[in-house]
Structure 1
Amino acid sequence: MRRSLSLTAALLASTILGAPALAQTRTPPNPPLVEGGFATTDATDPYIWLEEVEGERAMAWVNEHNTRSLGVLQGDPRYAGLHEQALALVQARDRIPSPGFTHDGHIDNFWQDASHVRGIWRRTTLDSYRTDAPEWETILDIDALSTAEGKNWVYKGSSCLPPDERLCLISLSDGGKDAVVVREFDSVTRQFVQGGFELPESKGGATWVDADTLLISRDFGPGTLTSSGYPMVVKRLKRGQSIDQAETIFTGQPSDVSVGGGTLRDADGVIKAVIINRGVNFYESETHLLNADGTTTQLQLPAKSDINALVQGQLVVTTNQDWTAPSGQAFKTGDVFAWNMDAWLADPAAPAQLIVRPGARESVEAVRATRNKLVVALYENVRGAAYVYTPNPSGEWARTRLALAENSTVGLGSSSDQDDRIFVSVAGYLSPSTLSLVDAATGQMAQVKAIPPKFDASGMTVEQHEARSADGTMIPYFVVHKTDMPLDGSNATLLYGYGGFQVSQLPGYSPTVGKLWLERGGVYVVANVRGGGEFGPNWHEAARQQNRQRAHEDFQAVAQDLIARNITSQPHLGVMGGSQGGLFMGAMLTQRPDLINAAVIQVPLFDMFRFHRLLAGASWRAEYGDPDIPEQRAWIAEYSPYQNLRAGQPYPEVFIHTSTKDDRVHPGHARKAAARLEELGYPVLFYENTDGGHAAGANLRETARRIALEYTYLTRRLMDVPAEE
């Protein structure tokens, strides 16, 4: 479904098995940092030069470490086999091609495999897609384009103009960066439009208004970016104009995260409103209506909210805070409700209708609109279900539950503008993904795709346990393992966590985890700690800013619980996480190194005294706090891994990796972490991919190499440990 909707500021019953959860005492904080001590100021940070992303000295350091670490890991006799398996899995042609409905009912897909490493954008009919061997037509070949232009293009998506969707804006990234160039493309002639819209590399967005008009938010030169490095200005660009001729229609504040333009379109592609979103911080935003005379009017919405859909004239909104509407209605955090859009625009005090109010252990994970229905993925205790809601302007919205497999992850895919069909996926840790086409009007569904098993899950099981965190909160986690696993503490166990930004860690089928870890006897654990969204916005809020340490304690509680149950023991326990999860691993390393023998630290945040000065870091102050404010600096100081690395600790050899092309989380974080560890005398493996962006892989081959390096490292640290340890 391709209706354009406003974006928020984020440019993003329990079953207790086994032994009872154990009570804990609060983890002692790290020794207080002394101002003037290591890296508490720029002057006392001896490795600040590693923040020069492509500086000559910094890149020499990177190349030296890459050579050494690759020599160790790729020199391991098991690496070749793991790499071969990873490459076969990520390039497999029997994956489910992710379908996207076009306005005329065709199916779009972006596909990568061994023959299309960078990928192709392709299209087929729905009837053909439902067969075992769809007949695809290539619209744009990114490999061929890269070769022709001598670029390492990474496809970042397309936006096509309704209703015919012939004209498209293609976003292309150099090596995987968030910053993209945008070029107009004719999907019928399959050529870039000569003299068409073309926007130079920048973070930002571009939205069609009509065939000759775009709303664009870019880097327009000095004074047009926020302190987070995102656009502060929205302009209206007419065909034939240069960018400097575009008309400014909205300007935010330097302290904002970002601003951008969008449209609200009905199922026929007709614009009902042109809107501007001002991201005041990562979680709070303003939505402004662009009036016909060029002025804007702020809409009365909760500061923490998302516009989800426009269906049958009903504007569907989720609030992430308790909120009293102008009508006097009181809505609770996590509620989904709707207004008749025309009535609400005419009178902000028009009443809204409540659609969903999640319970304490529930969360709304996704909302999609078909032509006439609203489909909601509602999770209870991290287990998914999908419900269909029918708009009723005069009363309650009717609700029916789709007959999907229980105790699984339910994903809502693309939906049709022309009828009520929607793609719905179901998967579990041991259950390969299936894709069904559902008619939301009738509830009828038919499975159209399923991936064959990618690893041997026979004799394996999934359990859900809970651990008691330091403040008494029960933290759920999943354990995937062989059923006959001995409870003697000898099992090589990988504990994964993220713990931030209201991102839920839902059960999913991972061929690489299954093949490279579970099949080989490893145990895989996913912790649903606070800071995520597993139980709605309040679960996230409980570990934000001054409460960040709660998420770290939750993760530590899960690690302790695994050991208490004799599932594993310190010599066999490793942790893994990326980005915010990389910060999570850094806190685990500096606070409870006695619990672990391995840590895979992926594209991490690490220096939390300088995170807000590096790339997009300023946008995350709403999550972590501001190190320039003394009170907030104090709570950040308690866990910032870089400053809290100390000599004489039982740190295991860690594996840190990042990407030179990551323009979201600065690679300096990872580099400085490795340099400081080495200075203190600890062994460390460091690898930096010179392409790949924040995903640390610009193409499938690079992704397979990263995965093989990680599991080679984990094998060495957790499976090679002598039993007597």
Structure 2
Amino acid sequence: MIRSSAAALAALLASSSLSAVAMAQTAPSASAAPAPAPASSGFATSEATDPYIWLEDVEGARAMEWVREHNEKSLGVLQGDPRYEPLHQEALAIVQAKDRIPGVGFNRDGTLSNFWQDADHVRGVWRQTTVDSFRTDAPQWDTILDIDALAAAEDANWVYKGVNCLAPEERRCLVSLSNGGKDATTLREFDAVERAFVEGGIVLPESKGGAAWIDRDTLLISRDFGPGTLTDSGYPMTVRLLKRGQAPEQAPVIFTGQPTDVAVSGYTLRDADGAVKAVLINRSVDFYSSETWRPKDDGSLVQLALPAKSEINGLIDGRLVVSLKQDWTAPSGQAFQTGDLIAWPLDAWLADPATPAQLVLRPTERQSVEGVNATRHTLVVALYDNVRGSVRVYRPGQTEWTHTTLDLPQNVSVGVGSASETDDRVFVSVTGYLNPSSLWLADAATGDVEQIKSMPAKFDATGMTVDQHEARSADGTMIPYFVVHKADMPLDGSNPTLLYGYGGFESSLLPGYSATVGKLWLERGGVYVIANTRGGGEFGPRWHEAALQQNRQRAHEDFQAVALDLIARDITSQPHLGIMGGSQGGLFMGVMLTQRPDLINAAVIQVPLFDMLRFHKLLAGASWIGEYGDPDIPEQRAWIERYSPYQNLRAGQPYPEVFIHTSTKDDRVHPGHARKAAARLEELGYPVLFYENTDGGHAAGANLQETARRIALEYTYLSRRLMDTPAQE
């Protein structure tokens, strides 16, 4: 699938979604409190009034000494709890298990590739097998590149970040390697047949950005070339055409964006045989608006006639498929709606933008398109209705597209995986909160489906069930949420309950099997709740747009409404209710802490945004102005300041002891957000547990051991706060 850079950036920011089965029920009304007025103290409204600005010096001596002191204290408390080590061992067994389903991708020669990590391959191994071997219980894997061996040989902290191979041969590849898990990567040319890096081959030094093959000797590159070549967001502002043998800085610039852009990047649009049909450049004007440009043979550029909020999904039988994120009238005069999938005959459309488009799919108000991929002749779509998934197969016709629905399990989450470009096979994943993940191989041409892998249960779900309820938000909107629990739980407010939320960037929280949630929380009597608030994409682009910028408070009120509804239903009560979220979800947790601390007794705040008056000045923060607004514009600053957690922390509030964690190597969401949050809370007299992984990047885990440790720390903290009765301050 081809993705716009805006979509790719949204995926980067989004935290891992833990997601359930759906049966709509009407819930009692629950209104969230209005947002408080901005803090009047003037605290941290400028660099001069922020006493903790020095904590933004990522690896500065003073800041790192502060980190070490807090790590020592927090690890002493949490690892000293007798529950920590059993939880750690359970987490370690889960994340290092070898009976997980390998995520595989089709290669053009019919083999399958996979990247795998376990106890023996902590950093991971890139490997391949055949489809027939993959069907067996013990596939025979052929190692292509061992990252553990590479890191040891080069004495480097390599973290694998993906590979991009040149079609159709797929022999020459660019391997992305990150130092410690940062988003910035080094790209190195690799020969997948010889299983070795190409001597004298292409090497692009560490940078954010990417590269795309045009042919064996030509690439489009978007990298950091020094002052004046990055946007304010810290992403590449230029696209260059690199010829083999050139130094990257010698490659001629073929496109330059603006400093205020999020990023620019180049890519190729290829047909099912791997032939280049168009060379394209994406200019992300903001996180959701972009332009697509096509370089012509004479060096000039032409902008494609696409709406600012749209995404190119693929090319099927010569037809370009695009999803729309806004209402749009095409040059042909046709009117399309937000959420529509449309298609043009590519060659005719490139020659004449007024060429009529065909409508492929128009979702209803409670539907959303959650995944699109193309086989050789079909378009495969994951379509959700009230957060329940199905997979449709669309085929182009002369006047309209027809579709069928694959015969897959119902009331679960489905995901469209890798699709073959040489035939119409496609992998589909199926999962639910209590349904261990399974992998199906479908023939989109015939509709045949075959379950070829299923994951064994990782926790005892006997007697557990999943409910879907709705909470009434402050403006009357009904917000769906899922509750995973033991069927015989008492409705007396005594249940330790973890409420998870994200609420931004059109990222949907869909049903999904989490072995760690099940083993470390549900099995031990905990209740797990997922809030499908506005700001996400559960009901398409409009559900997201309802909480954008000046309307951000709606998402916060939605989350608060779910908490209130849980308490109203006597599922839990304040002493037993905790919240968790990361990245944008960490901001969500910070707002809940500052606006409704009376509802909660625990908060796990993961790699958070927190100082929203400075988010746009830190690392990739400027790229998110499209989501939150611009703090440098007074009108927009006013609505941001109303909820920015850092400025709204106050003395004398019923804040529980919180657990905040981040990573020194996070070069997306600045660790200064988490550090300053902890420092301010301590200054105001509140107990805080803070932990910073000195590796790991935004995913907070450079390797599986660190991932297991982080998970065990989180559930030890939650056990202390929500399962000990009463929780002591």
TM-score scaled by structure 2?
0.97
| Aligned pairs for 1:87-126 within 5 A | 87-126=92-131
Cα distance in 1 between the residues matched to 2:682 and 2:345: 61
Aligned to 2:39: 33
> Hey, what's the Cα distance between the residues in 2 that align with 1:337 and 1:44?
51
User: Does 2:536 match 1:532?
Assistant: yes
2:528 and 2:367 map into 1 onto residues whose CA distance is: 24
Q: What does residue 183 of structure 1 align with?
A: 188
Mapping 1:590-609, distance limit 5 Å: 590-609=594-613
1:467-506 Cα deviation digits (max 9, x unpaired)? 0000000000000000000000000000000000000000
Counterpart selection for 1:339 from 341, 344, 348: 344
Which residue in 1 is equivalent to 2:228? 223
Measure, in 2, the Cα distance between the counterparts of 1:589 and 1:706: 21
C-alpha distance in 2 between matches for 1:331 and 1:196: 47
Query: Amino acid of the residue matched to residue 246 of structure 1?
Result: A
The answer for the alignment partner of 2:552 in structure 1 is 548
25 and 113 in structure 1: CA distance in 2 versus 1, 3 angstrom threshold:
closer
Structure 2 partner of 1:668: 672
Distance in 2 separating the partners of 1:518 and 1:106: 38
Q: Aligned pairs, how many?
A: 719
Partner in structure 2 of residue 298 of structure 1: 303
Q: How far did 1:11 drift?
A: 2.6
Which residue pairs with 1:659 in the alignment? 663
CA distance in structure 2 between the aligned counterparts of 1:197 and 1:397, rounded to whole angstroms: 43
Conserved 8 A contact 1:26-1:471 = no
Q: How far is the alpha carbon of 1:221 from its aligned partner?
A: 1.1
Is residue 575–residue 598 contact of structure 1 (8 Å, CA) maintained in 2? yes
Query: Given the superposition, is the C-alpha separation of residues 723 and 193 from structure 1 closer, same or farther in structure 2, using an over 3 Å criterion?
Result: closer
- Identify the match of residue 89 of structure 2 among 78, 81, 84: 84
Q: How far apart are the structure 1 equivalents of 2:726 and 2:648? A: 31
Residue number among 9, 12, 15 corresponding to 1:11 in the alignment: 9
1:529-678 paired onto structure 2 within 5 Å: 529-678=533-682
Shift of 1:190: 0.7
Alpha-carbon displacement from aligned partner over 1:481-538 (angstroms, at most 9, x marks no partner): 0000000000000000000000000010000000000000000000000000000000
Look up the match of 1:505.
509
Deviations 1:588-630 (A, max 9, x none): 0000000000000000000000000000000000100011110
Deviation, 1:448, is 0.7
Structure 2: distance between partners of 1:533 and 1:690: 33
Verify: 1:452 aligned to 2:451, yes or no: no
Q: Which residue number in structure 1 is paired with residue 394 of structure 2?
A: 389
Q: What secondary structure is seen at the aligned counterpart in 2 of 1:638?
A: helix
Q: Is the 8 A contact 2:267 2:279 kept in 1?
A: yes
2:127 paired with 1:129: no
**Match runs of 1:255-334 below 5 Å:** 255-334=260-339
The unaligned stretches of length 5 or more in structure 1 are none
Which piece of structure 1 moves more, 7-16 or 400-409? 7-16
Does the Cα contact within 8 Å between 1:7 and 1:307 map onto a contact in 2? no
CA contact (8 A) 2:30 2:471 kept: no
Higher RCO, 1 or 2 (CA under 8 Å, sep at least 6)? 2
Query: How big is the shift at 1:308?
Result: 0.3
State the Cα distance separating 1:398 from its structure 2 match.
1.0
CA contact (8 A) 2:436 2:457 kept: yes
Shift of 1:8: 3.5
1:198 counterpart (200, 203, 211): 203
**CA distances 1:213-246 after superposition (whole Å, capped 9, x unpaired):** 0100000111000000000000000001111210
Question: Could you give the per-residue CA deviations for residues 558-605 of structure 1, whole angstroms, max 9, x where no partner exists?
Answer: 000000000000000000000000000000000000000000000000
Q: Answer whether contact 1:229 1:616 (CA < 8 A) is retained.
A: yes
Counterpart amino acid of residue 503 in structure 2:
G
- Residue 295 of structure 1: how far off its partner (Å): 1.5
Cα distance per residue 1:47-105 (max 9 Å; x no partner) = 00000000000000000000000000000001000000000000000000001000111
Letter in 1 for 2:305: Q
2:17 aligned partner: none
Amino acid at match of 1:253: Q
- How far has the Cα of 1:25 moved from its partner? 4.2
- Aligned equivalents of 1:675 and 1:369: distance in 2? 49
Deviation at 1:722, TM superposition (A): 3.3
Aligned match of 1:23:
29
Q: Name the residue aligned to 2:18.
A: none
Structure 1 residues 704 and 612, CA gap change in structure 2 (3 angstroms): same
User: How far did residue 384 of structure 1 move?
Assistant: 0.3
- Residues 253-277 of structure 1, C-alpha deviations (whole Å, 9 max, x = no match): 0100000000000000000000000
The alignment partner of 2:343 has SS state of strand
Letter of the 1:15 counterpart: M
Matched residue SS, 2:586 = helix
Q: Does 1:253 align with 2:258?
A: yes
Q: CA deviation at 1:30?
A: 1.8
- Residue type matched to 2:276 in 1? I
Q: Distance in 1 between matches of 2:176 and 2:331?
A: 39
Q: Which amino acid aligns with 2:583?
A: S
1:155 aligns with 2:160: yes
Question: Which letter does structure 2 place at the counterpart of 1:619?
Answer: S
Distance across 1 between alignment mates of 2:565 and 2:641? 27
Amino acid at match of 1:412: V
Q: Does the residue aligned with 2:561 lie in a helix, a strand or coil? A: helix
**Are 1:4 and 1:263, in contact at CA under 8 Å, matched by a contact in 2?**
no
Instruction: Specify the alignment match of 2:430 in structure 1.
Output: 426
Instruction: Find out whether 1:514 has 2:518 as its counterpart.
Output: yes
d(CA) in 2 for partners of 1:323, 1:177: 38
Determine the C-alpha separation between the residues in 2 that align with 1:678 and 1:648.
13
1:240 aligns with 2:248: no
Q: Residue type of the partner of 1:593? A: P
Confirm or deny that 1:408 pairs with 2:409.
no
| 4 and 189 in structure 1: CA distance in 2 versus 1, 3 angstrom threshold | farther
**Alpha-carbon spacing, 1:671–1:210, altered in 2? closer, same or farther (3 Å):** same
CA positional deviation for 1:7: 3.6
Is the alpha carbon distance of 1:10 and 1:160 closer, same or farther for their aligned partners in structure 2, counting shifts above 3 Å? closer
Task: Give the aligned CA root-mean-square deviation in angstroms.
Answer: 1.3
Percentage of matched positions with identical amino acids: 74
The residue aligned with 1:377 is: 382
How far apart are the structure 1 equivalents of 2:2 and 2:244? 20
- Asked whether the equivalents of residues 598 and 654 of structure 1 are also in contact (C-alpha less than 8 Å), the reply is yes
User: Do 1:6 and 1:275's aligned partners in 2 also have CA atoms closer than 8 Å?
Assistant: no
State the shift of 1:28 in Å: 2.8
Corresponding letter in the other structure for 1:151: A
Match of 1:142 in 2: 147
CA distance in 2, matches of 1:9, 1:480: 30
Moved over 2 A (4+): 3-17, 20-26, 31-34, 722-725
With 7-16 and 65-74 compared, the bigger mean Cα shift is at 7-16
Give the Å deviation of 1:126: 1.2
Q: Deviations over 1:532-562 (max 9, x none)?
A: 0000000000000000000000000000000
Structure 2 unaligned residues grouped into runs of 5+: 11-20
- Alpha-carbon distance between aligned partners in 1 of 2:728 and 2:263, rounded to the nearest angstrom: 55
* C-alpha contact 2:439 2:451 (8 A) present in aligned 1: yes
Aligned equivalents of 1:643 and 1:284: distance in 2? Answer: 30
Instruction: Give the C-alpha shift of residue 29 in structure 1.
Output: 2.3
Distance 2:660 2:545 in 1: 29
Three-state SS of the structure 2 residue aligned to 1:489 is coil
Contact 1:9 1:281 in 2 (8 A): no
CA distance in 2, matches of 1:29, 1:568: 24
Report if aligned partners of 1:9, 1:284 keep a CA contact under 8 Å in 2: no
Output the amino acid matched with 1:542.
Answer: A
